Each structure stands twice: as C-alpha cells, then as structure tokens.
Amino acid sequence: MKTTFSLLFYLKKPKNYTDGLMPIYVRITVNGKRSETTTGRECDPAQWNSNAGRLKGTKEEVKSFNAYLDVLQSKIYDVHAQLTEAGAVITAETIRNKFMGKTERAHSLIEIFKEHNKKVEALIGKEFTKGTLCRYKTSLKHTQDFLKWKYDLSDIDIKRVDHAFIMEYEFYLRSERKCANNSAVKYIKNFGKIIRICLANRWLTYDPFLSYKSKVKTVDRVYLTTAELQEMADKTFEIERLAQVRDIFLFCCFTGLAYADVKKLRKWEIVTGVDGEQWISINRQKTDVPSRIPLLSVAMSLIQRYADHPHCENSGRVLPVLSNQKMNAYLKEIADVCRISKPITFHIARHTFATTVTLLNGVPIESVSKMLGHTNIQTTQHYAKILDIKVGADMALLRQKYAAK
C-alpha cells in the first residue's frame, strides 16, 4: 500500500507562554495523519527559520544545533525505511513509537480469531450453540488456509488486513475452496466479526470492509407437496429405524421444528395453550426466540406413539431423535421408497410446514412467522414468494368473481 511521508521541525508554544525560549518539536505525517514528539531542544523564536525548520545563522553553535536536528531527521527516515523493508503497516504513530524506542505489541489475525473461538466455546449453552462454534472453527480453518495459499504465512499482523486482503480472501473461497455465493458470503461475514473486534479495540484504525459489498442470493427452498406428504405418511416400513425417522420427519412437517429443537424437545414443553389445546412452548436453539406452536392432531398422535419408547421414558424427551447425519441418510432411503425425487434433508420438514401445511392453507404469514420463531418477517416472506400454487388459487377466485359480474 503506497504511503505519503513527511517531516517538519517546528516551534510549539507552551501553555501560558509570554516570552523566552520555545521547545522544538518534530511532526511526522503519514497519509495526512500526524504524530509529534519533542526534540529535547529549545530556541529563541527570533532565531528560528520556520521554512527551513532550522536555526538561522552560520555561527558554529548554530551549525552544531542544526546538525543535531539533521541527525534526528536521518534517524526518523531510517525508521521509515526499516518499517518499509519489514512490510509493516506504516503510520505516523508506528514511526514515532519506533523512533522513541517504544515497542508496540503486535496483534495477529489468527491469534485474535482463536481467542474469539475460545470465548464462544466457553459460552456454549448460554449465548452460543455448538453449531455456531463449528461455523467459526470452519471459518478459522479457511482463513489459515488462505494465509498459507496467498502469503505462505501461518499468521499475519492485523494491520495488514485491508480492502485488498478481503477481496483476495473472497476470491480464494470462491475459486480454490469452490464455495457457492451464499457460503462465501457467510464465511466473509464470520471473518467480519473478527475485524469488528479489532476496530473496537483500536488495533485497526480503519474498516477494511468499508467499500466491500456482497449479497446473499435467494435460494428456492425445497418442500414437500400435500401428495408427497400423504405418500410418505401412508407408506408402511418394515424396518423400524426407517419408520421412526419418517415419523419424526412428519412431526416436524406439522410443527415447523428444526432438527436441533425437536432433538431437545422435552415432555414438559408440551403445555396447555390459551385455547385449552396442547401447544409446544420453547425457545429456539438457533436464535433463543420464543416459539409457540399449537399441535395439530397428526403431531399429537405421533407424540402418543412414542410416549412409552425407552429413550423417551429415560430422557424425558418427546421423540427418540437420532443424529442429524443418520436422520438425513435414512431420509434418502425413505424418499427412494416413496418415489420422491426431491433432494430431501431433515430441514425440508421446516420448509414444508411453512408452505404446504400453513401458508397454502390460508394461515396468515404473521402467525407462521411467530410459530417458526423468525426474528424478522422478511425471512418468512421468502416462503411466500415460492408459492405459485397459492398465487394461482388466489387468482382463480378472482376470475370467478369477475365472471360472476
């Protein structure tokens, strides 16, 4: 990064100054930002040449005085050259500190990132989830790999992180790591938190993200239709594990619970609601936002089916949920048996609740948003945008009204 650098010796008037000698200061300017320090010398203002930044005259004591200032100037230029050669970030402050012998503790990117992750890990279950820690660990790994790929370094001074660094990091994620747009944006967003920590602690003087722009692309969410839901519900599975996974998946289709929420769902979280019916009352693990969901008869029957299951009796949980990896693996088998060609994962149950079960049946989007535990209704509106069936049905009613006229 190109810098402008200049020096100026000048007289600094002390507070409450009337007359007499004035101290000589040296001002270091880098890219328009200044830092100053005293030279330890004084002189009569009448003897000072402000244009030259030296004493006037040719006497031997004047020459000796000016030679001292020349030496100081030379030392400061040497400091600038040393910092440039070392590839350090050059500021007026760093030049002044090195000239004065002050060693500023360097803050390195990976060190800060690891410390952040350590704190996240300590707060799991309080402010963060294991999933959040996993994402930050993956982001840290990508950052370490990028430093090795681009700079052949294991760590880097945080002051070297600038706009060009961010752009190169994003390029690395998209090209070398082959991340899709939304994945690359999310990793950069995680990296952005580390930068905000540095800015808050004044380890960085400017925000490298200032001119950076990225946008998450809207992805059409896969969901099951009413016919596909019915096909899955009607299918008889002789293998118990497949039947169990199918039931838990259907339960989430009719409640909108995410995997993490259904896995930890306890029996005492099934409560009597304001209408006298059974409701789920939880705080979502991902956002810690309250979610209140009235239970449909299908969901209630599934709860009762597993009420006496050994796992549920011993743990107090509502359903015997397996690991997410196993659930997704078995769901692929279930989809094949039910002749459903869509790429099914457990999270599709949540999408199905938002679309097929609720919005397509006229449940207001505000109610759906509240049941899903969304912090922003715009998140819920993404589901409404993909419902061409609902649009077609609404327009069919409008056509009937105009035909009647």
In terms of C-beta density within 10 A (0-12 exposed, 13-18 middle, 19 or more buried), how is residue 177 classed? middle
User: Which residue is it, tokens 């909108």?
Assistant: 256
Q: What are phi and psi of 222, to 5 degrees?
A: -80, 140
Full-model pTM? 0.59
Looking at residue 8, its amino acid is L
List the beta strands (DSSP E) in 248-320: 270-272, 278-283, 290-294
Give the C-alpha separation, 91 to 68, whole Å: 24
pLDDT tens per residue, the chain (405 residues)? 567 899 999 999 888 888 889 999 999 999 888 999 999 999 999 999 999 999 998 899 999 999 999 999 999 999 999 888 877 778 888 888 888 877 666 789 999 999 999 999 999 878 887 888 999 999 999 999 999 999 999 999 898 899 999 999 999 999 999 999 989 999 999 999 999 999 998 888 889 999 888 887 766 678 899 999 999 999 999 899 999 999 999 999 999 999 989 999 999 999 998 899 999 998 887 767 788 899 999 999 999 999 999 999 899 999 999 998 999 999 999 999 999 998 899 999 999 998 889 988 888 888 888 898 887 777 777 776 656 656 676 777 788 888 876
According to DSSP, residue 124 is labeled B
User: Which residue is it, tokens 């930068």?
Assistant: 195
Q: What are phi and psi of 388, to 5 degrees?
A: -65, -30
List the beta strands (DSSP E) in 284-356: 290-294
According to DSSP, residue 295 is labeled P
Q: By three-state DSSP, how is residue 41 classified?
A: strand
Give the C-alpha separation, 151 to 147, whole Å: 5
Q: What are phi and psi of 6, to 5 degrees?
A: -150, 160
